[in-house]
Amino acid sequence: MSDAPRTALAILRRKQVERETGLSRSSIYRRMHAGTFPAPVQLGVRSVGWRVADIEQFLTDPMAYRVSAGEPSSQRFAGDGR
């Protein structure tokens, strides 16, 4: 990513998320299904991204991260972005 300052609402693409978290693509999607990784934001028909704030929250304590229990599972993750 560029050196430009990021805002909490900025969007990271999957490769950027992999680089920042050190997780592989399959690990990211496995954790999303388990509720232990932030859900992506739908950007288009076949594209997703993750909010910087969500990834930073995950990185604060990856082992304790849990998606809010009050969120319906369909909102947590609507697909794998492929």
Q: Are 18 and 25 in contact (CB under 8 A)?
A: yes
Q: Specify if 4 maps to a domain.
A: no
Model pLDDT, residue 8: 77
Q: Specify if 25 maps to a domain.
A: yes
Model pLDDT, residue 74: 41
Q: Specify if 18 maps to a domain.
A: yes
Q: What's the domain range around 21?
A: 11-69
Model pLDDT, residue 78: 52
Q: Specify if 19 maps to a domain.
A: yes
User: How many separate domains does the chain show?
Assistant: 1
Q: Specify if 44 maps to a domain.
A: yes
Model pLDDT, residue 6: 73
CA distance 19 to 39: 17
Model pLDDT, residue 9: 84
Q: Specify if 23 maps to a domain.
A: yes
Q: Check whether 82 has a pLDDT greater than 70.
A: no
* Digit-coded pLDDT (tens) for 8-66: 789 999 999 999 999 999 999 999 999 999 999 999 999 999 999 999 999 999 999 99
